[in-house]
Each structure stands twice: as structure tokens, then as C-alpha cells.
Amino acid sequence: PTWNDIEFYTTFQALFLNSESALHITWINTEYPDWTVVPMCDIQLQLLIEYVDRTFKRNQDNNILEIGASGYSEYDKFYQANGNFSFVQTCNHWVNKGLKAAKVKTSIWSPFDRGVLYQAKKNTAESYTQLIR
């Protein structure tokens, strides 16, 4: 979607009223050259997976809750998520917290992708394995 697709009230509510959150999952089987790789050991990857898993809101049978016929294509879906969304708690902040949970060096707070990517590009595989020890 573009900014033209978003209505004012929806944007205002999402940014300033501490809205419920959703988890947008896209299935991708291609690696793109402009992506930033975040090297992790197996323990860190498991910690990140657990962080993402805790984000999903679940029903009484422990099943994740899909949001209707959501998604922009056949390769993505939206799911109900724990937590709230606002201009303080953005998707980039969520990613930053996930990397922190995985013991990856991150920004203190990152409402924009710049802080997340800056730290990811600064670190090497060696520094990640040192953090987990």
C-alpha cells in the first residue's frame, strides 16, 4: 500500500491511540542483494524464533489467529498479535526488540529502520557469537 491508500483516521488512530497490533508474515524464497544479513548462531536464532512465536495472539486451543482474508497477495497473511502499535512502538521497534531478545547488539530504541540497519551492518559474525557467551 501507499500513503494514498491510507485514510486519515486510520493513520491517526494507529500512530497516536496505542492501537492493537498485527503481525504481517510474507513468505519469501528469494534473497535480494540489498538485504542486510544478520548473522546468528543457533542459540540466537532459537531465541529470535521464540520472540516471534510469543508475538502471535492465540486462542484457547493455542492456535494462532489469522485476521480474516488478509494479505496483499497469496504469499502473505496478517495475524493477531500481542502488544500495541503506536508511533513509539513501531514495526522497527518490534524488530529491534526481537534482535535484543536474540542477544544481538541493537539500538536502544529504533522507531525507524535506520537504527536497526545501522547496528546490523556494524556487527560481524564474531561479535554475535561473543554476545551469546
One-letter identity of residue 23: L
pLDDT computed for residue 60 by the predictor: 97
Predicted TM-score of the model (pTM): 0.77
Q: Residue 43: how many CB atoms within 10 A of its CB?
A: 13
18 burial via Cβ count (<10 Å: 0-12, 13-18, 19+)? middle
List the one residue out of 89, 87, 96, 101 whose CA is nearest residue 115. 96
Cell of residue 52, nine digits: 516471534
Average pLDDT by stretches of 10, the chain with 133 residues: 60 66 90 87 95 97 90 90 83 92 88 85 64 52
